[in-house]
């Protein structure tokens, strides 16, 4: 059995296997802990040269291939309807910069599936607004990403919002499939309150 799990909850400090990404907007990023939740805030940049905000590696000690990633969270204090947070997956280091696939969960519900390269350029797929949930409602939501082979499925509150073949973005990543990697949290001019994360 090659099943591996990681669980993050009852937050009182940044987990020991999380780290902030070099080159993100560290000067305008804060992390605090309240009611056993981790609260990540980014207040300034929209520049891709700073990954559009704050970025944290998640679980830097493990590399994942097929997985189910689940996070219970609430998005608040978005500076406007277009602000977003993202979950990067199959993230890898290339020449000191991170590359990977990404789900952008936008405050207004108009989310996108994406990839990002070592030049910090983001390549969104089509915007997704059908069956989506606006994260501006002040409620907790469950984010889930399921990866099997090259197929990724993104969910909000158990509603499938997109199923896509990640190889569709490989031309932006040097043409090679990212068959394994880590995870990352992106926060863009908003606050994300994280109650728990489970990776299997």
> For residue range 85-114, what is the model confidence (pLDDT) as tens digits?
999 999 998 877 899 999 999 888 888 999
Q: In the structure encoding, which two tokens stand for residue 28, read together?
A: 């305008």
pLDDT above 80 for 159: yes
Could you give the residue ranges of the DSSP H alpha helices within the chain?
none
The mean predicted confidence, pLDDT, of the chain is 91
Percentage of the chain modeled with pLDDT above 70? 98
pLDDT, residue 137, reads 85
- Output the CA torsion 118→180→13→22 (10° steps): -10
Average pLDDT of 17-42? 96
Using alpha carbons, list the distances in angstroms from residue 12 to 38, 58, 143, 146, 156: 7, 16, 22, 28, 26
Cα separation, 66 vs 72, whole angstroms = 20
**Which residue did the predictor score with more confidence, 28 or 60?**
28
Average pLDDT of 146-173? 92
pLDDT, residue 116, reads 93
pLDDT above 90 for 183: yes
pLDDT, residue 127, reads 79
pLDDT, residue 151, reads 96
pLDDT above 80 for 133: no
**Which residue did the predictor score with more confidence, 45 or 176?**
45
Cα separation, 66 vs 55, whole angstroms = 22
**Which residue did the predictor score with more confidence, 132 or 59?**
59
């Amino acid at each position: 059995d090659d099943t591996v799990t990681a669980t993050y909850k009852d937050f009182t400090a940044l987990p020991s296997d999380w780290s902030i990404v070099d080159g993100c907007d560290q000067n305008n990023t804060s992390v605090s802990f309240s009611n056993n939740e981790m609260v990540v805030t980014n207040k300034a940049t929209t520049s891709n040269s700073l990954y559009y905000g704050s970025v944290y590696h998640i679980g830097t000690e493990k590399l994942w291939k097929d997985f189910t990633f689940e996070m219970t969270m609430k998005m608040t204090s978005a500076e406007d309807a277009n602000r977003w947070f993202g979950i990067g997956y199959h993230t890898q280091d290339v020449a000191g910069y991170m590359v990977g696939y990404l789900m952008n969960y936008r405050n207004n519900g108009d989310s996108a599936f994406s990839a990002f390269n070592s030049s910090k350029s983001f390549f969104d797929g089509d915007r997704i607004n059908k069956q989506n949930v606006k994260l501006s409602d002040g409620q907790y939501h469950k984010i889930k990403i399921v990866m099997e082979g090259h197929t990724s499925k993104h969910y909000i509150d158990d509603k499938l919002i997109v199923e896509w073949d990640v190889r569709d973005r490989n031309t932006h990543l040097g043409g090679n499939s990212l068959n394994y990697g880590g995870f990352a949290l992106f926060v863009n001019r908003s606050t994300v309150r994280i109650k728990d994360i489970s990776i299997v």
